[in-house]
Structure 1
Amino acid sequence: MDFAPSLPTRLLVVDDDPQIRTMLAGYLSTFGMQADGVEGGAQMRRAMAAGDYDLVILDLSLPGESGLDLCRELRAQTDVAVIMLTARAELADRVVGLEVGADDYVTKPFEMRELVARIHTVLRRSRGDARRAAAAPGGHELRFGDWRLNTMLRQLVDGDDVVVPLSNAEFRLLLTFIEHPNRVLDRELLINQARGRGLDVFDRSIDLLVSRLRQKLRDDPRDPALIRTVRGEGYVFTTTPER
């Protein structure tokens, strides 16, 4: 019996340093990954339009358009996984990266094996998201209030049929709330479900994610109707979706 060969994992490395691009492409190929390298935003857009990539490795400190701007653009247009490379390790940089939708961070200088491990973790989590979305109760579309969440397309749609883009973490967080309506969910559970295991996470990250999700859902943080804070315990999704 003939089997079609599995396609290699395709990565796009966006870094203005040609040595880093060449080094990463060569090393990742030894793990069965195909890595293409580009130096900036214009080249990234051409590559994304021409190819189907599983993950983007994106340098934070690019000349011209910053890595944060490019990550924000990717999140608005695709659900491709993103790992950011940065020479900065401050908490503020990780928070900003989370805000724009990065799936993980690797700080320069980094061990190549660590990067490979993080790539595998992010891809495994992304593929698990696809299986989880396909198995979501109520078919591929879940309705709550004036909103619809298409779990296959990973799209949030408002009452005027306008698509509101979600980052990977925002999608996982919203799906977790929908799967557990009217129950208080503590921060540890939400971190594990929304961010996945194996990441350097912190309490503020989930609070920030909830804040971002409330903004997307136009849920007044002073008097939220969908995601309420339970002081000292966590959060509760107060609407039961139509399944």
Structure 2
Amino acid sequence: MSGDEPARGPVVAIVDDDTELRESIASLLTENGFVPVPVADSTGFFTASAMNSLDLALVDLRLQGESGLTLAIHIRERLALPIVMLTGRGDETDKIIGLETGADDYIMKPFNPRELVARLRAVLRRSGYSGLSIPDRSQSQIRSFGHFRLDQSRRELIGPDGAEIALTNAEYRMLEYFLRNPDRVIPRTDLLRELGSDHSQYMDRTVDVLIMRLRRKIEPVPSKPVHLQTRRGQGYIFMTTI
């Protein structure tokens, strides 16, 4: 690339047989600095991969007439390319199989546009992509509590030492929800509803597990939480200051 050419964003193949959704995702990615390559099927994908230097494949699990899982396996066999699967609400088993066959992440339809962009960026970072243009943290959407910062643009939790603390998608969503609703008691039914769009099979026990995991990551003494506190018989309250 010559010095006069503008920097190119990551090239993302969008494999989806729904024309309207494919074009909508392409527009979203273009607005956020990506270079979308929308195709309808595996034939279109491999034709595009021969003509473009792809950085990531976004693949619909339920391609008409073929399996997105099969395409993911073929991509893994032929190309060193990170893969994110788009899945429907009833595809729990296939999501697990998809991750086992090489998908780096999945996202449920219908999805939040900002979340899709953030998840693609996160997968690209983890895969070692070096040309990703992301706003500086000073310009990002930051929510702070105690000595921690949650960077919503990068979907990162930054600890007191400035290092990232790894969060699962469910942990991130729960923490973000608490930070959007600080200093008020939140019933567990509200937490289940918040997680329900992407985790429809969650039960009460799962909330307890997520609370326990978050406390291990953000509390000096998890058994004596100062941020994520329990209000017995009512729910939970998140205190941003200590």
TM-score, structure 1 length as denominator?
Answer: 0.51
State the secondary structure of the residue aligned to 2:127: helix
1:8–1:33 CA contact under 8 A, matched in 2 = yes
Aligned-pair identity (%)? 38
Give the aligned partner of residue 28 of structure 1: 29
Query: For each residue in 1:161-203, what CA deviation from the matched residue of structure 2 results, as whole angstroms up to 9, or x when unmatched?
Result: xxxxxxxxxxxxxxxxxxxxxxxxxxxxxxxxxxx944448xx
1:4 Cα deviation after fit: 5.9
TM alignment of 1:1-243, pairs within 5 A: 5-88=6-89, 91-127=92-128, 197-200=166-169
1:69 Cα deviation after fit: 0.2
- How far apart, CA to CA, are the structure 2 residues paired with 1:10 and 1:199? 25
1:11–1:56 CA contact under 8 A, matched in 2 = yes
Corresponding letter in the other structure for 2:83:
V
| Structure whose CA Rg is larger | 2
Query: For each residue in 1:83-137, what CA deviation from the matched residue of structure 2 results, as whole angstroms up to 9, or x when unmatched?
Result: 10011355422220112100000000101101001011000101179xxxxxxxx
Distance 1:198 1:5, change over 3 A: farther
Total equivalences in the alignment? 135
Query: For each residue in 1:28-86, what CA deviation from the matched residue of structure 2 results, as whole angstroms up to 9, or x when unmatched?
Result: 11111110111011111101111111111100001122100000000111111111001
2:72–2:102 CA contact under 8 A, matched in 1 = yes
1:15–1:58 CA contact under 8 A, matched in 2 = yes
2:87–2:95 CA contact under 8 A, matched in 1 = no
Q: Which runs of 5+ in 1 are unaligned?
A: 130-195, 202-243
- Cα RMSD (Å) of the superposition? 2.4
Relative contact order higher in (CA < 8 Å, ≥ 6 apart):
1
1:104–1:199 CA contact under 8 A, matched in 2 = no
Q: Which runs of 5+ in 2 are unaligned?
A: 131-164, 171-242
Corresponding letter in the other structure for 1:105:
Y
2:8–2:35 CA contact under 8 A, matched in 1 = no
- How far apart, CA to CA, are the structure 2 residues paired with 1:199 and 1:88? 19
